[in-house]
Amino acid sequence: MSDELEFIEDLADIIESLSPSDYVTTMDRDRPYGGQQPERAATEIKGITFRDLRDACVGACFESSGLPPSEWPTSLYDLPWDSMDPMAIFQNIGCEVERMMGIYPNVIPPLGVEEDS
């Protein structure tokens, strides 16, 4: 196996461990929070309704479509689903929820950088 192919397979394994794409793994509520900022993934959702969550999902789909907003279709069903990345949708759902919660971007500043007061 070439080094490049091995690298790609290793990278795919890392990405899968951070954001599983299979349903069985997502059912494990005790799995560790991964990623660059696990604190972000561990943030509890507060102050939004199920309707808000649905709206965040819809918005994330449009944001993940790759289309400029001026070309967004009028219906979610008309998005280019065959060329959309599900992981991008999941990442955008998180950003949309953070916006609704008033904490976007919910990131920890790098060491040595102080937060604004």
- Whole-angstrom CA distances from 42 to 26, 34, 67 are 14, 9, 30
Q: Of 23, 7, 4, 24, which Cα lies nearest the Cα of 15?
A: 7
pTM for the structure as a whole: 0.73
Q: pLDDT tens digits, the chain, 117 residues: what are they?
A: 688 888 888 878 777 777 777 888 888 888 887 766 778 888 899 999 999 999 999 999 999 999 999 999 999 999 999 999 988 998 899 999 999 999 988 877 776 666 665
* Token pair belonging to 87: 């992981």
| 101 neighbors 47 (Cβ within 8 angstroms) | yes
The span from the CA of 84 to the CA of 109, in Å, is 30
